[in-house]
């Protein structure tokens, strides 16, 4: 093989895995957007199987899949509708956060990043050693039908408060106060989770006007 042919072969070997990872990311994103899969890992595995790939070396990052989801959603709904939904979801989040201000709430996830999909929820974190206090506060302010989900996993034991507000799913993860200074990591980026308190969310909404 000539020197130029060898270089071309090396370039191709480097290029193909990246191209295949992109294809897996796009297909995995489509499965999630269409509701065929809910978990990133399962969506990746299904995409690899569908594309006829056999190696886990082709697995793209969760962040790349999230970017593809945002692009698919924009193509599906249109830029103006996505922007309207993001603003409305952030406004709802701020209203809820003001009600439970004593529990030091934070907005996280796609509503904060702006990389939503059609089924995205409004994800909040809050801190309390008595989740029923938050539940009562919410119901006193007219947030009805708040469901309680007890979670016990490798991270620990905590509570999800869940309901629909203006047709958007809302989920508040209630951590004990002892977790207040614990650094939580994103499953998408594997980095410290981005989050916004009420002041930061107000500033974010002001930027959207």
CATH number of the domain encompassing residue 183: 3.30.460.10
Tokens representing residue 207 in the block: 């930027």
Reference 72, options 46, 100, 123, 33; nearest CA is 33
116/50 same-domain check: no
Reference 194, options 93, 110, 71; nearest CA is 110
* Residues, the chain: 209
> 172 pLDDT band (50/70/90 cuts)?
very high
> 9 pLDDT band (50/70/90 cuts)?
very low
Question: Looking at per-residue confidence, does 35 or 83 come out higher?
Answer: 83
Q: How many domains does the chain have?
A: 2
84/45 same-domain check: no
- Which of 25, 53, 77 is where one domain is finished? 77
1-10, 44-53, 55-64, 98-107: the lowest-pLDDT one: 1-10
30/100 same-domain check: no
193 Cβ contact list (under 8 Å, min separation 6): 108, 183, 184, 185, 186
pTM score of the predicted model: 0.77
66/46 same-domain check: yes
Q: How far apart are CA 203 and CA 208, in angstroms?
A: 9
Tokens representing residue 203 in the block: 């500033």
Q: What percent of the chain has pLDDT over 90?
A: 49
152 Cβ contact list (under 8 Å, min separation 6): none
Taking only the tens place, the pLDDT of each residue in 48-89 is: 888 888 666 668 888 888 889 888 888 888 889 999 999 999
CB 177 within 8 A of CB 127: yes
100/73 same-domain check: no
Question: Looking at per-residue confidence, does 206 or 21 come out higher?
Answer: 206
64/153 same-domain check: no
13-27, 79-93, 131-145: the lowest-pLDDT one: 13-27
36/111 same-domain check: no
Domain range for 195 is: 79-207
């Amino acid at each position: 093989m000539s020197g130029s042919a060898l270089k071309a072969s090396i370039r191709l070997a480097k290029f193909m895995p990246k191209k295949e990872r992109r294809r897996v990311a796009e297909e995995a994103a489509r499965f999630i957007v269409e509701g065929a899969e809910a978990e990133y890992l399962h969506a990746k595995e299904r995409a690899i199987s569908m594309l006829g790939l056999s190696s886990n070396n082709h697995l793209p990052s969760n962040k790349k899949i999230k970017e593809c989801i945002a692009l698919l959603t924009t193509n599906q709904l249109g830029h103006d509708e996505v922007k309207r939904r993001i603003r409305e979801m952030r406004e709802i989040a701020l209203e809820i956060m003001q009600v439970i201000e004593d529990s030091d709430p934070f907005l996280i996830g796609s509503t904060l990043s702006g990389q939503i999909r059609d089924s995205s929820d409004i994800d909040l974190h809050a801190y309390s050693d008595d989740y029923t206090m938050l539940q009562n506060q919410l119901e006193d302010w007219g947030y009805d039908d708040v469901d309680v989900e007890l979670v016990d996993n490798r991270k620990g034991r905590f509570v999800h408060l869940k309901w629909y507000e203006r047709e958007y799913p809302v989920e508040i993860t209630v951590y004990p106060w002892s977790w207040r200074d614990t650094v939580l990591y994103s499953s998408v980026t594997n980095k410290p989770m981005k989050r916004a308190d009420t002041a930061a969310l107000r500033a974010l909404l002001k930027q959207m006007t």
